[in-house]
Structure 1
Amino acid sequence: MIWTKFFRRPPVFRAVAEEYLGISLAKCCNEYQRYTRYRMDHWVYPTIGSKRINKIKPPEILACIQEFEKGAPSQARRLLQVLSGVFKYAKVQGWCDHNPADGLGIALKPYSYKGFKHISIKQMPDFLADVDARVTLDAAAVTAFWLIAYTAVRRGEAVNADLSEFDFSDGLWTIPAERMKMKRPHLVPLAAPVVNLLEEWLEERNRIGIVGNKLFGGIGGHRPLHVITQAGWRGRMTIHGFRKVFSTAAHESGLWNIDAIELQLAHIIPGVRGVYNKAAMLEERRRLMDWYAEQVHNWRGTVARL
């Protein structure tokens, strides 16, 4: 909907924001789209959503951002960027004369990005033993956690998985481009323990009556993180940390082609190497994931529940 056709005076902030987000988020992955809209719905719209776009003052915007900043200091500037984009869009449409969000970053607390916390390989046996011994969460959350642990996929790629993406007979998970960060389809070889894990989950899924195409029935993206929390490792390990552990273990082993490791992490290989690796090195990646599943199994010890 083009609001210039319906408004003689500038529209309210929410109307402009929704029009802007419809354009700016079009090529973003579904998880990022949902998260961006969640932040707007909970932290911005309740305060300035109903105000005319040309009547909003910098202190009102700053109040929204600073309230959000209390719980997510690393994301405050990103939310400010979204709001700034809304006002830039409104300005070119002729709905306001300036961008009141411009320069507000100076009032936010300095934040030094430290990366995603992750434990060392030596700590993995203790960590996974605590998961096996302490966690009593629902099977969907726990299975999603182990799927991430064994495959090093991103959290959103796991919790939002669709049943149609899996070929258990071929041991292959094909994640479509629209669900990937880089908007390219991604192949994930499934080692035998992972196939067993998912087949057991499908039986449990049927038993408890989950229906629909979503593998985990639409659980929230935060649920696998709750496994880490209940195991007592929150603050030391993160879900994204599994990608770092996988990368470290694979590289340090000296057994695998570097490009195979990077492709398994869905990273873009630069230059000529990237052009000639479009074959995806699938066979080597199958062997890599079989090897890594054995590493995880060994870390879990004899109490592994597979």
Structure 2
Amino acid sequence: KRKADTTAAADEISFQHCAEKYIDAHRTGWKNIKHAEQWTNTLTTYAYPVFDSRSVAAIDTTLVMKVLEPIWTTKTETASRLRGRIESVLDWATVRGYRSGENPARLKGHLDTLLPKRSRVQKVTHHPALPYADLSAFMIKLRAQEGTAARALEVLILTATRTNEVIGATWSEFDLDEGVWTIPAERMKMRKEHRVPLPARAIALVKAQQEVKRGDYIFPGRRDKSPLSNMAMLQLLERMKREDITVHGFRSTFRDWAGETTHYPREVCEAALAHGIKDKAEAAYARGDLFVKRAALMQDWANFCA
């Protein structure tokens, strides 16, 4: 009788209830505080209206396809992430005993037989980047801008780092005497610690932030204990009438400059961008981070930016 009661109770537990419990359970483990918000938004927009108040045990392949098919070819990246989120929630529900059997949101050997390959339908979009020949003129205008976002963007360009790495930077990560910024693994896309050699101009910019120091963050937001908004630098570009480029695109600007105008080896340039080595055999031997060579590269880059 107890087992029957458990089964009856499980039949009343909705997919949305399980999704909310899953998000709450994983919230603290996600490195990006906006991750939970993204999960909630995609599930609320696409999954909940289709699954409605159905129990999680009733979610089958037909329902999953009803969610994914309308956006698989038009919003492929969103659809792909959504599928993975649905799969994770259903796995969680299975472990909890709220459902049983195969996961209907599984891709390999299941949905991949029903949906066209992502590579066939997804258009590759690159972040609009500034040509490196135009960079020095841009930097003059950037340095004339006031405010925290302008200083943060200049540091981002000089270090070829990502938005979240810059806005999340704290004082404890910097050794300004040695000219090293050590970004911990949990803040890196590849989940691997990244040591960034700081050119002289970047060191000067960070030191200047000490004069307006408020809390732990190098580039604080409006509230002392929060970092600069992840939209602040993009909004700065808009104010500068540069809607034609993106913040992330400056990494491409750096890579084009390094590849086309310098003699630094490819692995040094890729290491500067904290890119992982795709070849597993090559990666097994490349255990160093080429820091000394990267330091020379980044100083040359800073000189070019100037």
User: Is the TM value for this pair above 0.5?
Assistant: yes
AA paired with 1:158? V
How has the CA–CA distance of structure 1 residues 282 and 142 changed in structure 2, closer, same or farther, with 3 Å as cutoff? same
Q: CA deviation at 1:93?
A: 4.4
1:231 aligns with 2:240: yes
Instruction: After superposition, give the CA deviation of every residue in 1:253-301 in whole Å (9 maximum; x if it has no partner).
Output: 233122221111111233554344323221111111111111111xxxx
| Distance (whole Å) between structure 2 residues aligned to residue 77 and residue 36 of structure 1 | 15
Q: 1:141 aligns with which of 140, 149, 156?
A: 149
8 Å contact kept, 1:66–1:76: no
Tell me the percent identity. Answer: 24
How much does 1:14 deviate?
4.4
Distance in 1 between residues matched to 2:229 and 2:115, nearest whole Å: 30
Q: Does 1:124 align with 2:140?
A: no
Q: Cα distance, 1:176 vs. partner?
A: 0.7
**Pairing 1:79-90 to 2, within 5 Å after superposition:** 79-90=82-93
User: More deviation in 185-194 or 8-17?
Assistant: 8-17
TM-score normalised by length of structure 1: 0.74
Secondary structure of the equivalent of 1:292?
Answer: helix
> Is residue 2:183 matched to residue 1:198?
no
Equivalences for residues 254-273 of structure 1 within 5 A: 254-269=262-277, 270-273=279-282
1:75 aligns with 2:74: no
| Residue 163, structure 1, aligned to residue 166, structure 2 | no
Q: Secondary structure at the match of 1:144?
A: helix
Equivalents in 1 of 2:300, 2:292: separation in Å?
13
List aligned pairs for 1:266-281, cutoff 5 A.
266-269=274-277, 270-281=279-290
- Ranges in structure 1 where 5+ consecutive residues have no aligned partner: 298-306
The alignment yields a C-alpha RMSD, in angstroms, of 3.8
Q: What one-letter code is carried by the residue in structure 2 that aligns with 1:225? A: L
* Matched positions, count: 279
Bigger Cα displacement from structure 2, 85-94 vs 219-228 = 85-94
Distance 1:66 1:196, change over 3 A: farther
Q: AA paired with 2:142?
A: V
Within 2, Cα distance between the matches of 1:73 and 1:272? 32
Any stretches of 5+ residues in structure 2 without a counterpart? 1-5, 221-226
**1:255 and 1:100, CA in 2 relative to 1: closer, same or farther beyond 3 A?**
closer
